[in-house]
């Protein structure tokens, strides 16, 4: 029997103004029923455009296919099989296939789900389109059934909820439920776990494998995480600049990569980067930053008078110290209090109780005017540089404005020269000064965010998930930049992350948080190799790794 999906010499061109961009170039692969084919590659390699070309969701006015076929074994409602070319099939036929026989899980569920429709309404919408024979009550019961299949708690209640009231992991499960409700033959999953914690990611991947085994569906899984590939895939294709440069079984490609680009990607994984030398701080070394029994509680208000009925204990009695020149990593799932802790330590959020000391001085209750002197010495690099960089300011203005505020540099020319030197340190060209944030890639914007923190020559930087959304090679470059700067400048870092591979590479000390509290703390490599707390063991066990089958 022929493959369920056969992509033959597919090319896709996208029009940008007067230019034609070849986004997919002569790509060929096939997927059998019950098989998972993984497409990996960096941002811009053509993975998502390939998927959108298969399902024919690219805008017709800016896209074209100068060559290729996408042959799909279309199963009619009477179970009759017909081989169709998705590129030349009538749009009415494509509409019958999309959602019914081929479904897609998109990368960002919050932008893919309709904010004004309940979860149940969005799931039953697909049934109304493709299964008009089902009545309203039967469709509603099927929606609840599929929410139960994706292991949503209280599925009947969740069906009446709106997307903004759900967590990231729950929204992703809703997307899977929508894709699975019509029991498709092919599921296209575009980076479905990129922004999820490792434990939620492990649950989502296990769920997809179970649904695949139950329904015998094929999966096209798009990712840049080789650990996920090792867990999910049967076969693997590596894309670069629109071309499929290598393909084969997952173990063959991961264990014996043939193409230089594949070898570079695997070498860039945090677990494969050369380890930083262990920096043992002398027991007498003074702490630059110290927190004692730090608490940050947010009030829960209810009723007409908005009375405080309880508190969310985001940070609940945390204590530790970071010696000067050391890197302390904080790990834990979303909602554990990591980011709140980091922001409280530099007084971007006011603590409820406890003590924050910086270079021996208590800064917990310093008024805003007196905190100004400390702002130069403590900086933050945010998770999403696109939302933290002002889109109306050039990089030059972004970097020189804080210098002017803190009296660094005698004039504008000197500040520009200093900004250019810092850009060079983060491996960005000097001409980047005169460009705007939208003109850069995600990795380049993150380097600009690092440069903005460095221009004030700080002693302490809070790094909040700075590599979570980056490709492995770009992540490796950013980590190496931070490691070099920490060593050369003697920087002290608080590194917030959920990537344990990053922790092993960069951190001296590891703090594990759960529900606002510290559950384990110690030397990073020791905790990673021999975790004592059950929660830490669960986190480490959930990490997808490329070793093993």
Residues whose CB falls within 8 Å of the CB of residue 229, separated by 6 or more in sequence, listed in order: 38, 40, 221, 223, 236, 250, 254, 546
Query: In degrees rounded to 5, what are phi and psi of residue 251?
Result: -65, -35
Residue 159, in any domain of the structure: no
Domain that holds residue 227: 1-101+218-267
Cα angle value 404/410/412 (rounded, 5°): 60
Q: To the nearest whole percent, how much of the chain has pLDDT over 90?
A: 47
Total domain count, the chain: 1
251 exposed, middle or buried (CB, 10 Å; 0-12, 13-18, 19+)?
middle
d(CA 89, CA 337): 51
For residue 68, give the 3-state DSSP assignment: strand
Instruction: Check residue 277 and give left, alpha or beta (phi > 0: left; psi -120 to 50: alpha).
Output: beta
Q: Please answer whether residues 288 and 360 qualify as being in contact, where contact means their C-beta atoms are separated by less than 8 angstroms.
A: no
Express each pLDDT in 109-124 by its tens digit. Answer: 667 888 899 999 999 9
Q: What is the mean pLDDT of the chain?
A: 88
Kindly state whether residue 458 falls inside one of the protein's structural domains.
Answer: no
Question: Considering the domain boundaries, does residue 110 fall inside one?
Answer: no
The stretch 236-257 carries a mean pLDDT of: 94
pLDDT of residue 4: 93
Tokens at 5, concatenated:
């999906």
Residues 6+ apart with CB under 8 A from 111: none
pLDDT at 280: 56
* pLDDT tens per residue across span 159-194: 988 988 887 678 888 888 888 888 889 999 988 877
500, two tokens: 């344990």
**Residue 335: CA count within 13 A, CB half-sphere:** 10
Instruction: Tell me the two tokens of residue 117.
Output: 């429709």
Query: DSSP E strands: which ranges in 54-119?
Result: 63-75, 81-85, 102-105
- pLDDT score of 284 more than 70: no
Q: Report the distance separating Cα 10 and Cα 27, nearest Å.
A: 5
Q: Which has the closest alpha carbon to 81: 2, 180, 186, 188?
A: 2
pLDDT at 279: 57
What's the average model confidence in pLDDT over 296-303? 86
Q: Is the confidence at residue 229, as pLDDT, over 80? A: yes
pLDDT value, residue 171: 84
Q: How confident is the model at residue 387 (pLDDT cuts 50, 70, 90)?
A: confident
User: Is the dihedral angle over the CA atoms 309, 313, 319, 320 positive or is it negative?
Assistant: negative
How confident is residue 277, by pLDDT bands cut at 50, 70 and 90? low
In sequence order, what DSSP letters do the residues of 261-281 get, joined into one string? Answer: HHHHHHHTSGGGSPPPPP-PP
pTM (2 d.p.): 0.79
Q: Which two tokens stand for residue 20?
A: 């034609």
Q: Is 17 inside a domain boundary?
A: yes
Quick check: is 31 in a domain?
yes
Residue 59 in any domain: the answer is yes
Structure tokens at 49: 């455009």
Average pLDDT in the 62-79 region?
91
Q: Strand, coil or helix: what is 457? A: coil
Q: What confidence category does residue 100 fall into, taking pLDDT thresholds of 50, 70 and 90?
A: confident
Mean pLDDT lowest among 30-34, 127-131, 254-258, 356-360: 127-131
How far is it, in rounded angstroms, from Cα 508 to Cα 526? 10
Token couple for 141: 């019961």
Q: Please give the pLDDT value at position 549.
A: 42
C-beta atoms surrounding 487 within 10 Å:
14
Instruction: Report angle CA 7, 12, 16 to the nearest 5 degrees.
Output: 165
- Does residue 511 sit within a domain? no
Q: Between residues 225 and 347, which one has the greater pLDDT?
A: 347
Q: Is residue 37 part of a domain?
A: yes
Q: What is the pLDDT of residue 163?
A: 86
pLDDT tens profile 424-461: 888 888 889 999 988 887 778 888 998 999 999 999 99
- In this prediction, residues 475-482 reach a mean pLDDT of 83
Instruction: List phi, psi (to 5°) of 336.
Output: -80, -15
Here the CATH number for the domain that contains residue 226 is 3.40.50.300
List the one residue out of 243, 235, 233, 240 whose CA is nearest residue 263: 240
Closest to 314 (Cα-Cα) out of 302, 327, 328, 332: 332
507-510 own/partner pairs: CB under 8 Å, 24+ apart: 507/327, 507/328, 507/329, 508/278, 508/279, 508/281, 508/326, 508/327, 508/328, 509/320, 509/322, 509/326, 509/327, 509/328, 509/329, 510/328, 510/329, 510/331
């Amino acid at each position: 029997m022929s493959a369920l999906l056969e992509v033959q010499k597919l090319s896709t061109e996208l029009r940008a103004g007067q230019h034609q961009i070849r986004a997919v170039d002569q790509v060929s692969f096939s997927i059998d029923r019950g098989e998972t084919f993984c497409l990996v590659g960096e941002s811009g390699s053509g993975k998502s455009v390939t998927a959108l070309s298969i399902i024919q969701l690219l805008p017709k006015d800016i896209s074209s296919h100068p060559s290729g076929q996408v042959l799909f074994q279309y199963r009619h409602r009477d179970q009759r099989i017909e081989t169709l070319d998705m590129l030349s099939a009538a749009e009415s036929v494509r509409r019958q296939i999309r959602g019914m026989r081929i479904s897609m899980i998109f990368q960002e569920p919050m932008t893919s789900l309709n904010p004004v429709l309940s979860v149940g309404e969005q799931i039953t919408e697909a049934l109304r389109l493709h299964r008009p024979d089902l009545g309203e009550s039967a469709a509603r019961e099927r929606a609840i059934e599929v929410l139960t299949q994706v292991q949503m708690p209280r599925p009947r209640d969740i069906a009446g909820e709106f997307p903004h009231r759900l967590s990231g992991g729950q929204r992703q499960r809703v997307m899977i439920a929508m894709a699975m409700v019509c029991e498709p033959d092919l599921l296209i999953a575009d980076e479905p776990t990129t922004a999820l914690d490792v434990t939620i990611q492990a649950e989502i991947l296990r769920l997809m494998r179970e649904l695949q085994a139950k329904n015998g569906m094929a999966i096209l899984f798009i990712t840049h995480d080789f650990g996920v590939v090792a867990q999910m895939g049967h076969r693997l294709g590596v894309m670069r600049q629109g071309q499929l440069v290598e393909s084969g079984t997952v173990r063959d490609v991961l264990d014996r990569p043939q193409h230089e680009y594949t070898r570079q990607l695997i070498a860039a994984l945090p677990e494969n980067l050369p380890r930083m030398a262990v920096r043992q701080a002398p027991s007498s070394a003074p702490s630059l930053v110290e927190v004692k029994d730090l608490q940050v509680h947010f009030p829960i208000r209810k009723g007409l008078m908005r009375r405080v009925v309880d508190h969310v204990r985001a940070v609940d009695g945390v204590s530790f110290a970071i010696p000067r020149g050391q890197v302390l990593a904080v790990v834990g799932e979303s909602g554990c209090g990591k980011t709140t802790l980091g922001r409280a330590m530099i007084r971007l959020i006011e603590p409820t109780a406890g003590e924050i000391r910086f270079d021996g001085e208590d800064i917990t209750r310093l008024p805003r005017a007196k905190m100004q002197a400390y702002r130069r010495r403590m900086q933050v690099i945010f998770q999403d540089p696109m939302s933290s960089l002002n889109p109306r300011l050039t990089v030059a203005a972004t970097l020189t404005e804080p210098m002017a505020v803190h009296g660094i540099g005698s004039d504008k020319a000197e500040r520009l020269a200093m900004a250019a030197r810092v850009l060079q340190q983060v491996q960005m060209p000097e001409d980047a000064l005169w460009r705007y944030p939208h003109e850069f890639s995600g990795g380049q914007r993150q380097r600009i965010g690092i440069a903005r923190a460095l221009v004030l020559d700080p002693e302490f930087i809070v790094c909040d998930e700075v590599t979570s959304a980056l490709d492995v090679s770009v992540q490796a470059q950013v980590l190496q930049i931070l490691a070099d700067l920490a060593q050369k400048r003697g920087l002290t870092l608080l590194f917030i992350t959920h990537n344990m591979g990053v922790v092993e590479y960069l951190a001296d000390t590891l703090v594990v948080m759960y529900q606002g509290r510290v559950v384990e703390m110690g030397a990073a490599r020791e905790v990673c190799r021999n975790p004592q707390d059950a929660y830490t063991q669960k986190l480490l066990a959930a990490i997808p790794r490329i070793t093993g089958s």
